[in-house]
Chain A
Amino acid sequence: AQKITQTQPGMFVQEKEAVTLDCTYDTSDPSYGLFWYKQPSSGEMIFLIYQGSYDQQNATEGRYSLNFQKARKSANLVISASQLGDSAMYFCAMREGLRYSGAGSYQLTFGKGTKLSVIP
């Protein structure tokens, strides 16, 4: 089974509108972290936002917020007031085994991504 599922290959949103990008995950580990990254057409991977499995509040970073529904195992990214520069691929990723800090193996497992296009 896929650990990270992004069901929307592509999305369109009008400039200045809000958009939600879906992400569901699968893990039996009680300690995990969820991340969203943005990849513009230039190719770099930009970290956007992080949510830990024990965090009580939904994470927010500027225009980005994470709608974390633990029971549903979903971690949707909400972008408010979309801008033309938001057009990019967006990847949801999970890191398991966050019980301990330090040197452990904390590789990211990525979804297949959602291509967001912002329309003027």
Chain B
Amino acid sequence: DSGVTQTPKHLITATGQRVTLRCSPRSGDLSVYWYQQSLDQGLQFLIQYYNGEERAKGNILERFSAQQFPDLHSELNLSSLELGDSALYFCASSRQGNQPQHFGDGTRLSIL
């Protein structure tokens, strides 16, 4: 058990819809990272938050947004969903930047 909690584990929805993925980092970890894993693109970094502030953006679409709350949990919002958004979305956390990132079990998103 990595200590990182992601909900829900599975999500099935339709094109055009909006979903919210939730992540609770390990106790004491201030950094939260979101990654997307798809068959086409592999594992790609989306966005990072540190103690509530956005720190870095990767290959994140404009239809996607995220935030980190004062209790350090984070949410990834995906809107106007397309078939190509079907993927496994991971959240990871670390205490400081030079510490290993520990991953949650992921949310598997399926767009029908």
B86 interfacial contact with A, CB 8 Å = no
Query: Does B48 contact A102, Cβ atoms closer than 8 Å?
Result: no
Interface size for chain B: under 10, 10 to 19, 20 to 34, or 35 or more residues?
A: 20 to 34
Query: Does B88 contact A43, Cβ atoms closer than 8 Å?
Result: yes
Query: Does A101 contact B100, Cβ atoms closer than 8 Å?
Result: no
Given A107-B33, A107-B48, A109-B45, A102–B106 Cβ distance below 8 Å? no
Query: Does A107 contact B103, Cβ atoms closer than 8 Å?
Result: no
Query: Does A47 contact B103, Cβ atoms closer than 8 Å?
Result: yes
Q: Total A-B pairs in contact (CB under 8 Å)? A: 73
Majority DSSP secondary structure for residues of B touching A: strand
Residue of A50, A106, A110, A113 with highest tally of chain B CB at under 10 A: A106
B105 interfacial contact with A, CB 8 Å = yes
When chains A and B are docked, how far (Å) is the Cα of A98 from the Cα of B97? 7
Query: Does B43 contact A110, Cβ atoms closer than 8 Å?
Result: yes
Interface size for chain A: under 10, 10 to 19, 20 to 34, or 35 or more residues?
A: 20 to 34
A44 contact from B48, B100, B105, Cβ within 8 A: B105
Q: Which of B12-20, B50-58, B63-71, B72-80 is the contact stretch?
A: B50-58
Chain B nearest Cβ from A120, distance in angstroms: 27
Query: Does B50 contact A107, Cβ atoms closer than 8 Å?
Result: no
Query: Does B102 contact A47, Cβ atoms closer than 8 Å?
Result: yes
Identify 6 new A-B residue pairs, CB closer than 8 A, beyond the known A44-B106, A107-B56.
A44-B2, A47-B101, A50-B100, A103-B97, A107-B58, A108-B43
29 inter-chain pairs at a CB distance below 8 angstroms, sorted by A residue, are A33-B98, A35-B100, A35-B101, A37-B103, A43-B88, A43-B105, A44-B2, A44-B103, A45-B90, A45-B92, A47-B100, A47-B102, A52-B98, A98-B97, A100-B97, A101-B97, A102-B96, A103-B30, A103-B50, A103-B55, A105-B55, A106-B31, A106-B94, A106-B98, A107-B45, A107-B58, A108-B101, A109-B45, A110-B42
